[in-house]
A = this chain, B = another copy of it.
Amino acid sequence: MTDVQKTVSALCSAAKTASAVLAAASGDTRRTALLCMRDALCAHSEQILQSNAEDMLHAEQNGVSAPMQDRLRLTQARLLAIADALAALAALPDPIGEGEVFTRPNGLQIRRVRVPLGTVGIIYEARPNVTADAAGLCIKSGNTAVLRGGKEAIRTNCAIVYALRAGLRTAGLPEDCICLIEDTSRDSAAALMQMRQCIDVLIPRGGKGLIRTVVEQASVPVIETGAGNCHLYVDESADIEMAVSLTMNAKTQRPSVCNAIETLLVHASVQEPFFRALRDAIASFHTPVEIRGCARTRAAWEGILCASEEDWACEYDDYILAVRVVDSLEEAVSHINRFGTHHSECIVTRDLNAARAFQLAVDSACVYVNASTRFTDGEEFGFGAEIGISTQKLHARGPMGLTALTTIKYLIDGTGQCRT
């Protein structure tokens, strides 16, 4: 084992040991702990903002991009929002506890209870808000957390975790319920990905590159989140005005997020009126939106770029929209299932049969009829807290609430029953 592996292993082991204590703590204790963590963040705000100022200075000196600097920056207001989020978590219903109970003919009483996963690893980038957010989600669901954030935010993360651990102590819980890997080298992330003995699940939070690396390299089970190549299909019976409004919302309301659309599929029979109306909407929009079209789109829409095969598979996360004309709903579905990431798709239609056929055939977590894909979100679905949007089919799919951080366990009470 290298020194980095030893350090990571020791931290993971400490978090695993603490998980037994946390799993035995009541929902009230976990609720109190979250409030103590909130108070500690506020009490340590000066140190946290000071550490953040140092991170910001290094970021400027190292020529870190402006958007990344913005994600990195904490203000008094942002820190307060982070602290408030912990209090909001505390107020949510406890995801841990008794479920179904059933008695078998032989008298065995079987209880199915929802229990924490144990210890959760989180690998993320330069957003210090994730530090408190992920730690809070873990504590709420009875899991201990091993956090490995990006190097740009390391001073801020250390200060936040210092405060959170102080909060845990106040609540009478082991401070190792939250552990931060202070080594931000690639080696420390690689080491964390192999800690099968201690880490029950690994959640990458960040860009596509990070998620792909974790999915490919980790031997610890991973919950994959966030890849979003989403589509909107304008059916032949679509309300054109609604189709334009949904397209504009799903593309431009916040293009950098995973539930924004990247490709528009348009039924040939409505392309003329739809393209005309969309062109007008884009022309009057405050920011230029670049269109990349298939041959048929380009024939109908002058001056746009040509979309290649790569465009269909691309998550632009930007004011760019790929457009393809199709001859049928089936062609739209087949395009989506081939090029999409199984996240969120929408059909705009007035035909109920088309709506149901689309919802059945599209193999994605969320399939919308006449609504923006931007609603794929834990808050918007009413789940209270969101851990991420799962694009996998096992364990969790779509917006993940707190139960995604739990598993089940069967407790069986008998009176000496033997199997015959």
Which of A179-187, A204-212, A372-380 makes up part of the contact surface?
A372-380
Q: In the complex, are the beta carbons of A118 and B393 less than 8 A apart?
A: yes
User: Assuming the A-B contacts A201-B394, A393-B407, A412-B375, are A418 and B367 also in contact, with contact meaning beta carbons closer than 8 angstroms in the complex?
Assistant: no
* Chain B contacts for A61, CB-based, 8 A: none
Q: In the complex, are the beta carbons of A414 and B370 less than 8 A apart?
A: yes
Q: In the complex, are the beta carbons of B117 and A393 less than 8 A apart?
A: yes
In whole Å, how far is A218's beta carbon from the nearest beta carbon of chain B?
12
Chain B residue nearest to A215 (CB atoms) is: B219
In the complex, what distance in Å separates the CA atom of A277 from the CA atom of B149? 57
Q: In the complex, are the beta carbons of A361 and B24 less than 8 A apart?
A: yes
A303 within 8 Å of B by Cβ?
no
User: Assuming the A-B contacts A253-B419, A365-B409, A409-B365, are A200 and B414 also in contact, with contact meaning beta carbons closer than 8 angstroms in the complex?
Assistant: no
Which of A52-60, A76-84, A242-250 makes up part of the contact surface?
A242-250
Most chain-B Cβ atoms within 10 A of its Cβ — which of A200, A221, A414, A415?
A414
Chain B residue nearest to A259 (CB atoms) is: B419
Interface residues on A, range: 35 or more
Chain B residue nearest to A224 (CB atoms) is: B221
A108 within 8 Å of B by Cβ?
yes
* Chain B contacts for A319, CB-based, 8 A: none
User: Assuming the A-B contacts A246-B418, A418-B372, A419-B374, are A397 and B393 also in contact, with contact meaning beta carbons closer than 8 angstroms in the complex?
Assistant: no
Q: In the complex, are the beta carbons of A395 and B398 less than 8 A apart?
A: no
Chain B residue nearest to A333 (CB atoms) is: B20
* Chain B contacts for A359, CB-based, 8 A: 411
A229 within 8 Å of B by Cβ?
no
